[in-house]
Chain A
Amino acid sequence: MSAATAGDAPAVAWETVIGLEVHAELRTATKLFCGCRNSFGEEPNTNVCPVCLGLPGSLPVLNKAAVEYAMRIGSALHCGIQASIFHRKNYFYPDMPKDYQISQYDVPINVDGWLELSGGERIGIVRAHLEEDTGKTTHVGGGGRIHEAGYSLVDFNRAGVPLVEIVSAPDIRSSEQARSYVEELRAILVATGASDGKMEEGSLRVDANVSVRPAGSGGFGTRCEIKNMNSLRSLGRAIEYEAARQVAVVQGGGEVVQETRHWDEAAGRTGSMRSKEEAYDYRYFPEPDLVPVDPGEAWISAVASALPPLPASRRAAVAGASGMDASSDAVATVVRLGLDPFVEAVAGGPGSRENVAAIAVRRLANEVAAEIDSVGRLSPASFAALVRMEADGSLTAAQSRTVLKELLASGGEPKEVAGRLGFEAMAAGDLEAVVEEVIAAHPEEWARFLAGEDKLTGFFVGHIKVATEGRANLGAASALLRALRG
């Protein structure tokens, strides 16, 4: 965003610079370093063992499936996948069983990739590394913060759940772009099968590094890290708030202090959690209980070649089939909602392939998207049949929309539904008769049309539409008018 300048200060345009750190829980059957089930929403402290409780003498053993999922994510984000090692990140917290987190530090599994937003912009990916999740603390009493709490309850079911932390470059420039990035990343994570990407359940968690600078300046302002945003909406709000706060600080003659800030959803503002001086010294060092992970070329290429089509390539495919712009909202909507199989279903039938597919994309991005929860009632085959009826003139656009809504509401076959609704296509002879009637009723306009006044096409088509009560295929009607002109 370009944060508005405050007060009467000289009109300096400000630019927001955002980098996002996304933690995605992996959908492995078991945890990262032990055989406990990786499962959300169970009785507290039931999926635990000596390893994920950090009991004395226990040792971690790396879950191969988690490595594979991490590689899928890296591959989907165009990262280099490399031999990596684990480090210990040391700090005390009651929900961290060992009081250190096993994470990757300077030699992560995935480095230097990029993600293409649905609008076509590329955001750099610095790294996407493996680490273990902590347990979950519930502070009881006080404001839900540890030092105000009367007591705290800790659930270790989440301790040791595998995470991939995906760190973007500071390439994001607005809250909208940040949301778009997270949406796209979520779609990629879901497509690869590596994560279910549910922000509400905490399986996808986003922290934002936000700074501001005068537009066009090359350097970076001092950044703040914003935590505790539990939805795309709060991510957008928090970034907007934080950017405006920083602009106000700078314009007020102050300096932004590097710190970690907590987003308060109810109050709609960020507040200081800890400053740089209070920042933890994590005392990273290589985890001596684990050996380096070297997946090797064969495994890396097997993972890459087994990747399913990802959102960007699916958008390109839909765009290619329909002749529409890959960065258009309609194409993005179709792919985001997973409706591209419907576009594929119309390909290969009679008629102009591109035209048919373009009609399909419009119907999917509008009528189907509006009733997405009912999409189960719509089979690709009946959708394809409907789109062909619209394309060949058997149904008008208005009729086609109506039939589609009916199919989504109650299911059925488009021919049968169209018949039930009285949407019989007009026979060519009937249309011709109506056209001749309309011409006869407007001789003056017909003479001008014959003399070359093309804009009168709309006049005649309008009258034909009225005379047929909307049952005429208007494309066919205008073609007929041109044909009669000779």
Chain B
Amino acid sequence: MTAAGIAAAVRSGQRTARSVLEEHLGRIAAAEADVHAFNLVLHESARAAADAVDAAVAAGRDPGVLAGVPVALKDNLCTRGVPTTCSSRILDGWTPPYDATVVRRLAAEGAVVVGKTNLDEFAMGSSTENSAFGATRNPHDLGRVPGGSSGGSAAAVAAGFAALALGSDTGGSIRQPAALCGVVGAKPTYGLVSRYGLIAFASSLDQIGPFAGSVADAALLLDAISGPDPLDSTSLRDAPPPASARLGAGVDGLRVGVVAELAAAEGISADVVARTREAADALAAAGAKVDEVSVPAAVYGLSAYYLIAPAEASSNLARYDGVRYGLRERGDPGGAGDITDMYLKTRSRGFGAEVKRRIMLGTYALSAGYYDAYYGKAQRVRTLIIRDFAAAYERFDVLLAPTAPSTAFALGEKTADPITMYLNDVCTIPSNLAGHPAISVPFGCGDDGLPVGVQVLAPALGETVMFQAAAALEAAAPPAHVPVTLGGGASQ
């Protein structure tokens, strides 16, 4: 059942939110041990929330547009009174005293939060293997990764643990796992969704966005959480473009550009290239004017990203120092100075290898004498990417590109080589650098029978046309990939 269907049934009294929740909790009970989508399942608070929705319906009050819809939250979104870990040991024992703005908006719309999902530590990674609490597995094949960093949220939706989920996307962390798990995932325009309460990885790139089983459900969730927030200075002041406005409008006459540099980027596997080409053909068949377009600077996105994101992360993660909250190791009073020793021991033990790698990269990139050559130059590349996109959008309404270079890879396959892992984001990063929206839509499967995702990209605040094209793509997609069969019978 779709999220929209659940909300309609609950709102009309046809179903109770509680029964919907129990159904999802049942699936979690059956298969979560295999998938490990969650860091924490919130049985009791979810039941209380569901009961409150049912009480509202019974009392004739408006329970909200997401009434009774089970939603999973990436565990880097702050939840009042509920541990929020970023899948890191450094936040051991910390419980936020406040809710993220998106969490408040979900609650106001009657959504039922079922749990906090696993992620690569501080959202740094593309496989959810960089979690202090163990890897999440792909519900389509438990021997494979779900992608990342929002792998837990993608897997939760794919496995039917939640109808909807929220993730965060800094360089592809929603779209890549959505592609690998065969669900829809969207990164909105930078500033469309408040970041207040999203634990920062790279502030100028981070955006919260939806996971869903369908384009329409993703639009429903995005419309519920987007909009101005006085608590986030970078949130856009005007009313957001409605994602759901033109879902059924088709693509007749729409100008669609296939990004040449991304469709043929180094390392993109042949089956993914083929699905992208078929997606373009399908839109053409539906009436779109499809052509190839060049976005030359896009190929420099990955390099620029791996300077900007670590630089901001090195600063954002400085606060995890053991002084005020989270993990604290005792400094050696006999050492050079116990405060410094406390810092060193706390951060050495609290952070995983990938986080340390990026803190070091970013610290170096910002150092006196290197700033201009690294951070400064990367920011100039960002300007070039925006310029090249602007040129493309003079001729096209939306762009098309692969999401991930391949289908889901095996657990452990890329952990030894960070660069290979980083290449997973080559097609998704340009949108983050530009601040533009992009959505990954399942489109058939690879040679291995696992899901493939295709991205629709749009200019800033182009959500309406982006979801319009995405819905058409979804409608034209070949019959589903390998169905998810979990619980008891699941095997690797």
Residues of chain A having any CB pair with chain B under 8 Å? 50, 53-62, 88, 90, 92, 94, 97-100, 146-147, 152, 154, 281, 283-285, 288-291
Residue among A55, A59, A99 making CB contact with B233, cutoff 8 Å: A59
In the bound assembly, the distance between CA atoms of A61 and B312 in angstroms comes to 18
Given A56-B86, A288-B312, A289-B233, also A147-B368 (CB < 8 A): no
11 chain-A/chain-B pairs, Cβ below 8 angstroms: A57-B77, A57-B84, A57-B100, A57-B198, A61-B233, A62-B233, A92-B318, A97-B319, A97-B324, A281-B367, A289-B203
What mask results when residues 118 to 152 of chain B are scored 1 for a CB within 8 Å of chain A, else 0?
Answer: 00000000000000000000000000000000000
User: With contacts A90-B314, A94-B321, A283-B366 known, what are 5 further pairs, Cβ within 8 A?
Assistant: A56-B96, A59-B233, A61-B232, A90-B315, A281-B367
Minimum CB distance partner of A98 in chain B: B319
Minimum CB distance partner of B325 in chain A: A55
What mask results when residues 315 to 341 of chain B are scored 1 for a CB within 8 Å of chain A, else 0?
Answer: 100110101110000000000010100
B236: shortest Cβ distance to chain A, in Å? Answer: 11
Interface residues of B in 226-253 (CB under 8 A from A): 230-234
Minimum CB distance partner of A289 in chain B: B203
Minimum CB distance partner of B78 in chain A: A57
Residue among A53, A61, A284 making CB contact with B230, cutoff 8 Å: A61
Q: Is B363 an interface residue (CB 8 A)?
A: yes
Q: Is B20 an interface residue (CB 8 A)?
A: no
Q: Is B97 an interface residue (CB 8 A)?
A: yes
What mask results when residues 279 to 292 of chain B are scored 1 for a CB within 8 Å of chain A, else 0?
Answer: 00000000000000
Total count of chain B residues near the partner, CB < 8 A: 44
Residue among B76, B315, B321, B367 making CB contact with A88, cutoff 8 Å: B315
In the bound assembly, the distance between CA atoms of A290 and B195 in angstroms comes to 12
Q: Let me know if A61 and B231 touch, CB within 8 A.
A: yes
In the bound assembly, the distance between CA atoms of A283 and B376 in angstroms comes to 12
Most buried by B among A147, A154, A289, A290: A289
Q: Let me know if B318 and A53 touch, CB within 8 A.
A: no
Given A56-B199, A90-B366, also A285-B371 (CB < 8 A): yes
Residues of chain B having any CB pair with chain A under 8 Å? 76-78, 84, 86, 91, 94, 96-98, 100, 195-200, 202-204, 230-234, 311-312, 314-315, 318-319, 321, 323-325, 337, 339, 343, 363, 366-368, 371, 375
Q: Let me know if B337 and A147 touch, CB within 8 A.
A: yes
Residue among A62, A100, A283 making CB contact with B363, cutoff 8 Å: A283
Q: Let me know if B91 and A283 touch, CB within 8 A.
A: no
Residues of A within 8 A of B319 (CB): 54, 56, 97-99
In the bound assembly, the distance between CA atoms of A94 and B78 in angstroms comes to 24
Q: Shortest 6 CB-CB distances between A and B: which pairs?
A: A99-B318, A283-B366, A288-B203, A288-B204, A56-B199, A57-B78
Residues of B within 8 A of A57 (CB): 76-78, 84, 96, 100, 196-200
Residues of B within 8 A of A88 (CB): 315
Residue among A59, A152, A290 making CB contact with B231, cutoff 8 Å: A59
Q: Let me know if B199 and A285 touch, CB within 8 A.
A: no
Given A62-B233, A288-B204, also A283-B315 (CB < 8 A): yes
Given A99-B321, A146-B339, also A59-B196 (CB < 8 A): yes
Residues of A within 8 A of B197 (CB): 57-58
Residue among B204, B230, B315, B371 making CB contact with A100, cutoff 8 Å: B315
Residues of B within 8 A of A58 (CB): 196-197
Minimum CB distance partner of B191 in chain A: A291
Residues of A within 8 A of B324 (CB): 53-54, 97
Minimum CB distance partner of A154 in chain B: B323
Residues of A within 8 A of B97 (CB): 50, 55
Q: Let me know if A289 and B198 touch, CB within 8 A.
A: no
Q: Let me know if B91 and A56 touch, CB within 8 A.
A: yes
In the bound assembly, the distance between CA atoms of A154 and B325 in angstroms comes to 13
In the bound assembly, the distance between CA atoms of A336 and B315 in angstroms comes to 45
A442: shortest Cβ distance to chain B, in Å? Answer: 87
In the bound assembly, the distance between CA atoms of A56 and B314 in angstroms comes to 14
Q: Let me know if B91 and A281 touch, CB within 8 A.
A: no
Residues of B within 8 A of A62 (CB): 233
Residue among A147, A154, A285 making CB contact with B311, cutoff 8 Å: A285
